[in-house]
Amino acid sequence: MKPLSSTSWAAQGVAGLLVFPLLPVEASTDNPSLAPAPPMGFNNWARFECDLNETLFTETAQAMRKRGLLDVGYDRLTLDDCWMLHDRADDGSLEWDTDKFPHGIPWLAEYMKNEGFHLGIYQDSGNLTCGGYTGSYGHEAQDAELFASWGIDYLKLDGCNVWAEEGRSLREEYRVRYMQWHNVLSALPNPLIFSNSAPAYFEGEAADWAVVMDWVPESGELARHSADVIVYSSNGSAWDSIMYNYDMHARLVRYQQPGYYNDPDFLIPDHPSLSQNEKRSQFALWASIGAPLILSAYVPDLSDEEIAFLSNKALIAVNQDPLGQQSALVSRDGTFDVLSRSLENGDRLLTVLNRGADAATTTVTLARLGLTSQSGCKYEARDLVTDDISTMDSAIQIQLDSHVAKVYRIALPESCTKTTPTGMVFNTPSGLCLTASTDSITFEKCSALDTQVWHVTATGDGTKLTLSPLSDTSVCLAADGVSLAKCRGTASTWDHYISGHLRSSSGNCLTQTKDKASIEECVIDSVGQIFGLPSGVHLAKGDLN
């Protein structure tokens, strides 16, 4: 743990500039035109691993076109690891494996273009790829220019076999390499979409993971943030793998924005261990959380039913919504996860997932969705799979079978358009929920009580926040962080930083230690100070210092 004093995180970055270009030429999020919405398409990895070839890609493209997937937006096919020869040519350039790609990769890129698709490719920022082929280390510009000359416009850059240079920590090393790649790709006449894998290498270490995530949105259009989704050949539970990646994703709401997307890895509708409900639920969840929709399946053999749910235009529209929010947890009780977010036209999105082993029923109130329930405010919730509409006077009751997720789009009546970001405030490393106890604040296991659902309201010039529990919206989380008090000015205002810190007007940060809440000096590496908030919350500008 390193307190933020004279050698702050920002100061380290500036010092670093003298040696290597740490700051991007232009952050991906400053100019979201490269990927204004999450990418959609196909990648061979989870389904075929290293068994890729030209035929697989041309067959898949034909099937995607014939079966309507291209028409609804799946337009990128990306080669994963093992497409190349183990060694570089004499001039240092990479070469494709001619057994796998007899016509060559430029031919395949042209083929894809003629069919209405884009071709993407895989490389690694280290000495070797994960599969043991030659990595890009020391050849960054050369490889980028080669890919562009082949007609490729999307790069998935893995992070296997990266070693820190002397004087750098491993997490600094990843930052240097991925920022360098971002700069190389951005400088091309036609920049490539950049899929970053750095955070996946830190997911087991909460403080490092957060510090890496803090720069990731500036350095690419998407990032594989945690484990690979289970591969087809593995006998493990694909549902557990999907839930693991979904849970990691739920911790990263604050990073998602137009131009940058958290990537929980592929849709795997082929996986033999998944039930039909579970396949549908993965798609509904991935759409709701704004994840890239990248199929890793044998598309020619998908059933008509599978093609139909993967082509649901209402869910795809939500996924591609230009506001670019990620659904965030409103509540969680061990059975139901309830999530919400806003859409560009002002509609609210409600997502409910039954994680339990049995069918169960839950009720979601308007207040939990951040909507007002005064008279005259009648909301209509449309089930985006069945198209059924339920009128919501004060709440909606939802019954779901085991492992089923449903997504509702709620239109706002013209006189009732106000929404307040509402939901769980939780320490993302521990998963514990900020809880309003009688006159104190604690951290408890999340149990979906009103004492754990918070209205987060913008105040002042809109940049400061107040936090009030639904159990008593007349009180606010006080700046001392350990009590609830009447909401009054700076004594109850907070700043939320991209690093997850919640800093009060005292200059100190909310801190979780076991079940205790306290307010302590803000420390960038402190796992007790990283919080997830509802989506749509204003983030404080600049660094935490």
Ligand X SMILES: *[C@@H]1O[C@H](CO)[C@@H](O)[C@H](O)[C@H]1NC(C)=O
Angle at 253 between CA 249 and CA 257, to 5 degrees: 115
Nearest alpha carbon to residue 32 among 185, 221, 215: 221
Smallest separation (angstroms) from ligand X to the CB of 300? 11
Question: CA 183, CA 23: separation in Å to the nearest integer?
Answer: 9
The string of DSSP codes covering 259-293 is TBEEE---B-TT-TT--HHHHHHHHHHHHHTT--E
The residues with which 3 forms a beta bridge, in sequence order, are 523
Site string for ligand X, 311-330 (x = CB under 6 A): --------------------
Torsion over CA: 138, 39, 64, 231 (sign) = positive
Question: CA 405, CA 401: separation in Å to the nearest integer?
Answer: 9
Pick 180 or 362: Cβ nearer ligand X? 180
How many helices (H) and strands (E) the chain has is answered by 11, 29
- If binding is defined by CB under 6 A, does position 48 make contact with ligand X? yes
> Which of residues 26, 30, 51, 439 is near ligand X by CB under 6 A?
51
Smallest separation (angstroms) from ligand X to the CB of 97? 11
Considering only the stretches 48-56, 189-197, 312-320, 459-467, report the one whose residues sit in contact with ligand X under the rule CB under 6 A: 48-56
DSSP state letter for 430: T
158 among known catalytic residues: yes
Pick 14 or 164: Cβ nearer ligand X? 164
Pick 61 or 328: Cβ nearer ligand X? 61
Site string for ligand X, 222-241 (x = CB under 6 A): -----------xxx------
> Which of residues 138, 167, 189, 462 is near ligand X by CB under 6 A?
138
Site string for ligand X, 397-436 (x = CB under 6 A): ----------------------------------------
Helices 105-114, 54-66: axis angle to 10 degrees equals 10
Smallest separation (angstroms) from ligand X to the CB of 219? 22
> Which of residues 55, 62, 397, 490 is near ligand X by CB under 6 A?
55
- If binding is defined by CB under 6 A, does position 137 make contact with ligand X? yes
Q: Are 475 and 485 in contact (CB under 8 A)?
A: yes
User: How many residues of this chain interact with ligand X, rule: CB under 6 A?
Assistant: 12
> Which of residues 35, 56, 176, 470 is near ligand X by CB under 6 A?
56
Of 80, 81, 143, 158, the active-site residue reads: 158
Strand order in the sheet with 40-43: 261-263, 222-224, 193-196, 154-158, 118-124, 76-78, 40-43, 293-295
Pick 60 or 499: Cβ nearer ligand X? 60
Smallest separation (angstroms) from ligand X to the CB of 90? 16
- If binding is defined by CB under 6 A, does position 111 make contact with ligand X? no
Of 214, 263, 321, 495, the active-site residue reads: 214
> Which residue has its beta carbon closest to ligand X?
51
Question: CA 118, CA 147: separation in Å to the nearest integer?
Answer: 13
Question: CA 391, CA 379: separation in Å to the nearest integer?
Answer: 6
214 among known catalytic residues: yes
Nearest alpha carbon to residue 182 among 21, 294, 36: 21
Q: For residues 148-177, which are near ligand X according to CB under 6 A? A: 163
Pick 101 or 336: Cβ nearer ligand X? 101
Q: Are 328 and 339 in contact (CB under 8 A)?
A: yes
Q: For residues 14-43, which are near ligand X according to CB under 6 A? A: none
The residues of the shown chain that bind ligand X, judged by CB under 6 A, are: 48, 51, 53, 55-56, 127, 137-138, 163, 233-235
Active-site residue list: 158, 214
